[in-house]
Structure 1
Amino acid sequence: MTQSTNLQTDFQAILHNLEAARGQSIFLTTTQLLVWASKIFERAGLSSQDAMIMARTCVYPERDGALSHGLFRLPNYLQTLVAGNVNINAQPTVVQETPSLLVVDAQNGLAQPALQTVYEQLVQKTRETGLCVVLLRRAFHIAALWMDVEPLARQGFVALTCVNASSCVAPAPGTSAVYGTNPMAFACPREGHEPLVFDQASSLRARGDVMLSARAGEEVPLGTGMNSEGELTQNPKEILKGGALLPFGGYKGASIAMMVEILAAALTGGQFSWEIDRWSQPTPDTASAGQFLLCIDPTVAGQTMFAQRIQDLAQKLLDSGQSRLPGDLRYTTRAKTESEGIKVDADLLLGWYEQTNTGVNTSG
């Protein structure tokens, strides 16, 4: 029996369990959820390889408790794929290469498969020269960024990445959106422990978290954003409908958002956030954003005890009273869900399955 047949058999079993659980929640393992999500992406037109890559972008954050970037994002991906906003047949191309640089045109396709095509080159160049920079343009990326850097830290590297997106964040001071949430993620190895990893937006709150609050009918903290009149509001729907998010720390967060705009848009040759015309598309999510990724090998710089020094730093932080380190909460949640399973709404998953089909628009 081939792997494809095994996955199909597993999917049918999962589908049967979901049907039996209509109207209630059910616990699935990470593997089961990956099989289910990859099948959904295949039905939306992706190849089996790309479908599994995209399944991980939704399932792993859900497993780790990062719900704003977990299964919550799957409908956005499906709507975008079906509408033809993203080129599902994209063939990412390396348009410029040096011993420590890869400039990649994602051809208006998905960012994660595009990065995967140059991953081995990235690792090889980092080991050979001590560092490598990937500049990715014309890519669609609304996933958690830590997934792009944590695997590199597990290989002993220090990694930093950032992306821009369609504008929804005002500068400081400012009353209209110029930047995207412009998140960045960082990871590095830590001797005897999981890597140190953080993933954060330049805005006070990630747009996905504001969307979750809007869906739940909850207010957001004052300072999260403003309405279309430029007035502070705690109503997430007013922020999302013609308003703007605000950067964390005022001008300090705005400066970081500007830096991300320069690294992920100007340097990659991609579009600035305000140049991405999200409203002319069939759905408000479209490609054309950019991503900057820097990977460094500490050993090439002679830092053979780097991971131990990071552990010394981490211990000092804990001794000083810091209750947990970046990434700890995700690792704790990951261990729990790997043991107990991931709680999902059966009706929600079945609804997404029923909405997908193989007749999608492949232009992008």
Structure 2
Amino acid sequence: FGAGPLNADFCIKRAIELAKESGMGCVALQNGSHWMRGGSYGWYAAEAGCIALCFTNTSPNMPSWGAKEANTGNNPLIVAVPREEGHIVLDMSLSQFSYGKMWQLALNGKELPFPGGYNAEGELTTDPKAIVDSKRLLPTGYWKGSGLSILVDLLVTLLSSGKSTAKIGEMEAEYGLSQVFICFDTKQMNSDGRHKELVDEIINHVTNVAPEKEGSTIEYPGSQTRKRRAKHMKEGIPINDEVWDKLLARV
């Protein structure tokens, strides 16, 4: 057991090192803890010129499709692809909304833009606090997200010989997680040097279309993150007053 971000940082760096040596690196970790901002490891790998796939399981916090009680995790996955004009990084949990997003909206008294789970009465709701309290999140893509969650749990548990979501749920808190970090060195997997050409082909095809709403832009994984980062570097990072007061109270 140890600090989740420190363990994950070590693992992604080791996976990158192995990828640089042999083209691919895979590191599996058992008995970890929450890695916090999972996308960070994808950004780090992309910056090193690697494609990355990272997975983790969690404690039971989401019902599998058709179930009433939380019996699977919203097991996050990260996929990153390096690109000169800005890396492509998908950072997602397998629930429609992550707990972090729902806590953030609840703190600011806001509703979800569309239903993200069930309240205590078993009704679909846009109330983030009601969903957090019920622990009945809606899987991403309904049964598809449920299936992906089960497969992520299987992959990380088998590859690390670690704890499954079921066993993590028997712990006193959310620790003992199983995690996997896989990296591919793009220079070794694209000996013909077509990485940039192929990535640009796909991203340009996705973004060079008319937007549904006039004046809006077509986004892809990582593009909004870069925009937010640029804004925060210029204007500062907004923090909820309640959270800020709690931080000051600990100083």
TM-score (normalised: structure 1): 0.61
Please tell me whether the aligned partners of residues 16 and 50 of structure 2 are also in contact (alpha carbons under 8 angstroms): no
Q: Which residue of 2 aligns with 1:67?
A: none
Q: Does 1:232 align with 2:124?
A: yes
Give the aligned partner of residue 291 of structure 1. 179
Query: 1:180 aligned to 2:69?
Result: no
Aligned-residue identity in percent? 24
Q: Which residue of 1 aligns with 2:229?
A: 334
How many angstroms does 1:346 deviate by?
A: 7.3
Partners in 2 of 1:347 and 1:255 — Cα distance?
Answer: 37
Counterparts in 2 of 1:204 and 1:303: CA distance versus 1, 3 Å: farther
Identify which of 308, 314, 324 aligns with 2:203.
314
Question: Which segment is superposed worse, 265-274 or 344-353?
Answer: 344-353
Structure 1 counterpart of 2:188, from 300, 303, 307: 300
Q: Counterpart of 1:252 in structure 2: which amino acid?
A: K
Question: 1:327-348: CA deviations, max 9, x gaps?
Answer: 1111111112212222346774
Residue in structure 2 matched with residue 325 of structure 1 by the alignment: 220
Greater shift, 304-313 or 218-227, is seen at: 218-227
State the TM-score, normalized to the length of structure 2. 0.85
Q: Distance in 2 between matches of 1:165 and 1:305?
A: 37
| Offset from partner CA, 1:223-260 (integer Å, 9 cap, x none) | 41123454433333332224410112111111111121
Q: Report the secondary structure of 2:150's partner residue.
A: helix
CA shift for structure 1 position 157: 0.9
- Residue in structure 2 matched with residue 275 of structure 1 by the alignment: 167
| Contact map agreement 1:228 1:243 (CA 8 A) in 2 | no
Distance 2:65 2:245 in 1: 43
1:1-364 matched pairs, under 5 angstroms: 108-141=1-34, 143-190=36-83, 192-220=84-112, 223-228=115-120, 230-277=122-169, 281=172, 285-301=173-189, 302-321=191-210, 323-344=218-239, 348-349=243-244, 351-355=246-250
SS of corresponding position for 1:179:
coil
What are the ranges of 5 or more consecutive residues in structure 2 without an aligned counterpart?
A: 212-217
Q: Tell me, what secondary structure is at the counterpart of 1:274?
A: helix
- Pick closer, same or farther for the CA change 1:189–1:239 going to 2, 3 Å: same
2:67 and 2:90 map into 1 onto residues whose CA distance is 27
Offset at residue 132 of structure 1 (A): 0.8
The root-mean-square deviation of aligned C-alpha atoms, in Å, is 2.5
Give 3-state SS (helix, strand or coil) of 1:342's partner: coil
> Match of 1:193, SS?
coil
Amino acid at match of 1:271: K
Distance 1:342 1:208, change over 3 A: closer
Based on CA coordinates, which of the two structures has the bigger radius of gyration?
1
Change (3 A) 1:236 1:316: closer
Residues 44-64 of structure 1: CA distance to partner in whole angstroms, max 9, x if unpaired? xxxxxxxxxxxxxxxxxxxxx
Query: For the residues of structure 2 that align with 1:198 and 1:236, how far apart are their CA atoms?
Result: 23
User: C-alpha offsets along residues 77-133 of structure 1, whole Å, 9 cap, x if unaligned?
Assistant: xxxxxxxxxxxxxxxxxxxxxxxxxxxxxxx21222113334543222101211011
Unpaired segments ≥5 residues, structure 1:
1-107, 357-364
Residue pair 1:230, 1:243 contacting (<8 A) in 2 also: no
Aligned partner letter, 1:182: N
